[in-house]
Amino acid sequence: MKKIILIIAMALVGTSAFSQIEKPVKWSFAIKKENKNEAIVFLKAEIQSSWHIYSLDQKEGGPIKTTFTFAPSLDYSLVGKASQPSPRTRFESAFNMNVSYFENAVIFRQKIRLKSGKGTLHGKLEFMTCNNQKCLPPEDLDFSINL
């Protein structure tokens, strides 16, 4: 009887170890006021070793690019588009093309014009994570930042 219980317990532990969801990217969000009328939104991705996410700009037919969507608001307006540091570029056989990506960490920025001194910025981001063996399905993440 003890052997049967031990076998069942080992099977359950083994199954749960393989069913864990991989989350190789951790996001954080912040805002810095430049003056009473403007601020910079910082969207930071911390990426586990051997993984990468893709830049804001990708050619058609390639991986899902990182995108940010900001909810319309009476409290702020966007100034231009989101910016990024210079990405690395290399050929990826999975997509049969050159792709631009970030490893380790990256901080994206979005300038906004403040229309009031308060409120909350709501947004959504979409990104795709890959390593040398596989790509995870694209992920959507909602976020909010107090102005």
pLDDT tens track for 66-76: 999 999 999 99
Higher per-residue confidence, 124 vs 21: 124
Cα–Cα dist 69/122, whole Å: 9
Give the number of domains in the chain.
1
Residue 104 lies in a domain: yes
Above pLDDT 90, what percent of the chain? 75
Torsion, Cα 123 42 51 20, to 10 degrees, reads: -50
Q: Which residues contact 52 (CB under 8 A, 6 or more apart)?
A: 101, 102, 103, 129, 130, 131
Residue 126 lies in a domain: yes
Residue 17 lies in a domain: no
Q: Which residues are bridge partners to 101 per DSSP?
A: 54, 88
Cα–Cα dist 140/74, whole Å: 24
Q: What is the pLDDT of residues 105-133, one digit of tens each?
A: 999 999 999 998 788 999 999 999 999 89
The domain of 33 spans: 25-146
pTM for the model: 0.83
Q: Residue 16: pLDDT band by 50, 70, 90 thresholds? A: very low
Read off φ and ψ for residue 132, nearest 5 degrees.
-75, -15
Residue 128 lies in a domain: yes
Judge whether residue 56 has pLDDT over 60. Answer: yes
Q: Say which CATH number the domain at 59 has.
A: 2.60.40.1250
Residue 14 lies in a domain: no
